[in-house]
Amino acid sequence: MAAVVAAAADLSLIAYGDVVAGCEQCALSQTRTQVVFGSGSPTAELMFVGEAPGFHEDKQGIPFVGAAGKLLGKLLEGIGLSRDDVYVANVLKCLRYNATVQLGDGTWERIGRLVRERYDGTVMSVTAEGRIEPRLVTGWHATPLGGRRVFRLSFESAKPNSNGEANIQLTGDHPVLTERGYVPVEELVDGDRVATGHGFSDVAHDVLCGTLLGDGSISAASAYFQLGHSAHQEEYARWKADLLAELEPVVAVLDVAAVAGGPRVYGAVHVRTRASRELRTLRSAFYRDRKRVPLSLAEQLNYRMLAIWFLDDGYMRHRPNRRPRAEIATNGFDYGDLQTLLFALSRLGLPAKTLRGRIYFDADTSRLLSERIAPYTPASMRYKLDPEVAERVPFDPTLFEPGPPRVLFDTAEVVDVTDEARTDVTFYCIDVEENHNFVTAGGVVHNCRPPGNRDPLPEEIQACEGHLFRQIELIQPTLVATLGNFATKLLSGKPAGITQVHGREQQVVLGGNPVTLYPIFHPAAALYTPRMLQVLEEDFRRIPELLGREAAPPPPPAPLYVPEPAAEPEHSVQLGLF
């Protein structure tokens, strides 16, 4: 009997699909290759609804066949289902003219001018690994504001200036890069940290942080970094200055006034960098009312940063007939700071204790500490190591090759400015190759959409939504999982975005039937922001429960899914049936 019902349902869907194949109710019929109706089991309990076909779907006539579709298949496998068990069907965000964008040569230009002049050079962009690099502009968009809200976006360490480069205005639906992935600006919450669009190489970052744990400092007034060493450490000071070359340091050898009871003057070496946006952001992490240890260092401390910290403020005590023991001076930090440092050291396998403003290591840990930092210790400073280790473990200069800068994050500052008077109600956006984002004065923002993609227009929705509801009526699923913002808002009839409602089921009536609606992120979210894969996996794990089934056993650990590179379309592809 079940087979008969399935066959009848399949025939009904096929027949309806044939009807829809000739649809000419909107202008999309003039640009599509074919209608992408849907695929899967005609009696599926679980139905997925995405936004719209892309280039590959339009060519093959099947939804979710690109990189996002492959990831969808892997997520289903993780809960014991396959594409054959379910049914899959489918359903410009902009900046204000004077929002400044950083070009590939480091200069800044207003986005409105880039769009109007169809600028096809490079802009600064951020890779999935957080590296900052120039990428080509491939598209330009200018759209009316319509009924969208407008927000002013900046970040805590941004410095206001007369050029207005400290912030940007953008529509509320425009995604910006945060530590939790891309989030529409209107859905940012207190504590969210946005990518600032500037940063340091890994080497410069570690040298700066290691020195700031010691006597280094960043000026509050103009955000330059400075450090000082005694004359006998001039070679070490100049070596650190070379590692900070991207910040254009200046080295000066000085005669400094003596302390009470000492010689009248003594030699010192002073290093000072230029002021910069990235140093202002780093200062906000290390300073509030005083210098402190950022909580992030509990996870970020590495052997290179530790080496700089120890060479600045560490000491190896040598006592007759006893093994050397290491200690580090930490007089400027309070109890909470010291606990962060002890945790960071223990994470590196270097347990320690603190007493009277110093961190102490036992003999075994002191030997291990020397072994770990010896490859990062230049010749002029190897006297600070355990002598046996200094002889056995050489310095490795390749560990200080800088590489490209990595973007910094800072606390977002968002203000709703929808009601402010404005004469220009056109907003702008650009598309950027490969990374699909670009650096602005207010942070890193996403393309309007990945290439060839956009929101459906009202007349397209009106032409297509009846077909979608008829599909749901024929299939009669008990659970409909909406993939992403647009499908969720359309089928729920509510304005709440996917970030707020993902993983939370709700009861609705679709196609005349009561249905559990289950919003989840679109699989493409994990392609552009790999850390989103864990969120998707967690939301998918609830699907068996919502279907009234036992949860599938967890799959064996697997490497992060990396999609195969897909060929780019030669031109922008229009939407088809969603």
Write a three-state SS string for 40-52: ECCCCCEEEEECC
Closest-CA residue to 25 (of 467, 574, 486): 467
| pLDDT tens-place string over residues 164-174 | 447 899 888 88
> How much is the pLDDT for 262?
61
167 and 41 inside one domain: no
Structural domain boundaries, residue 430? 95-199+405-446
Convert the pLDDT of each residue in 299-310 to its tens digit: 999 999 999 999
Q: Look at residues 151, 165, 155, 159 and name the one whose alpha carbon lies nearest to residue 193.
A: 155
Domain shared by 28 and 59, yes or no: yes
Q: Give mean pLDDT, residues 238-261.
A: 86
- Lowest model confidence (mean pLDDT) among 27-41, 314-328, 361-375, 379-393: 27-41
- What number of CA atoms fall less than 13 Å from residue 234's CA on the CB side? 11
**Quick one: pLDDT at residue 35?**
57
**Same-domain pairing of 233 and 333:** yes
| For residue 575, pLDDT beyond 70 | no
Q: Is residue 387 domain-shared with residue 374, that is, in the same domain? A: yes
Domain shared by 187 and 234, yes or no: no
What's residue 421's pLDDT? 83
128 and 267 part of one domain = no
Instruction: Select from 400, 417, 434 the last residue of a domain.
Output: 400
- In this structure, the answer to whether residues 157 and 232 fall within a common structural domain is no
567 confidence band (pLDDT: 50, 70, 90):
very low
**91 Cβ neighbours under 8 A, 6+ residues apart:** 49, 50, 51, 52, 456, 461, 464, 465, 468, 486, 487, 490, 491, 578
Q: Which residue has the higher pLDDT, 211 or 571?
A: 211
3-state SS, residue 453: coil
State residue 399's pLDDT score. 97
Average pLDDT over residues 179-188: 89
Largest Cα span, the chain: 103
User: Would you say residue 338 lies in a domain?
Assistant: yes
- Asked if residue 566 belongs to a domain, the reply is no
Q: Which of 547, 475, 471 is nearest to 516 (CA)?
A: 547
Determine the pLDDT at residue 153: 94
CATH number at residue 137: 2.170.16.10
In a shared domain, residues 375 and 466? no
| Rounded Cα gap, residues 489 and 472, in angstroms | 17
Do residues 222 and 282 both lie within one domain? yes
107 within a domain of the structure (yes/no): yes
Count how many domains the chain has.
3
> Kind and range of the H or E element at 182?
strand 181-184
Task: Give residue-wise pLDDT tens across range 433-453.
Answer: 888 899 999 999 987 654 445
pLDDT at 19: 52
Q: Is residue 331 part of a domain?
A: yes
448 Rama class: left (phi>0) / alpha (psi -120 to 50) / beta: alpha
Q: What is the token pair recorded at 27? A: 């202008």
Is the pLDDT at 297 greater than 80, yes or no?
yes
**Among 335, 366, 400, which residue terminates a domain?**
400
Supply the pLDDT for residue 448.
Answer: 65
The whole-model pTM stands at: 0.64
Residue 578 lies in a domain: no
Which has the minimum average pLDDT: 166-170, 234-238, 347-351? 166-170
pLDDT of 414 above 80: yes
Question: Is 153 within a domain?
Answer: yes
Q: Does a structural domain hold residue 423?
A: yes
| Distance in angstroms (rounded) separating the CA atoms of residues 10 and 12 | 5
Domain membership flag for residue 501: yes
Give residue-wise pLDDT tens across range 502-559.
999 999 998 788 999 999 988 877 766 667 788 899 999 999 999 987 545 544 544 4
Q: The CATH number of the domain where 514 resides is what? A: 3.40.470.10
The CATH number that applies at residue 328 is 3.10.28.10
Residue 122 has pLDDT above 90, yes or no: yes
Mean pLDDT, residues 414-428: 85
Question: Cα separation of 215 and 233, whole Å?
Answer: 14
The reply to whether 349 and 394 lie within a common domain is yes
Cα–Cα distance, 450 to 498 (Å, whole number): 18
250 with 367, same domain: the answer is yes
State residue 91's pLDDT score: 59
Whether residue 342 is predicted with pLDDT greater than 50 in this model: the reply is yes
Same domain, 269 and 326: yes
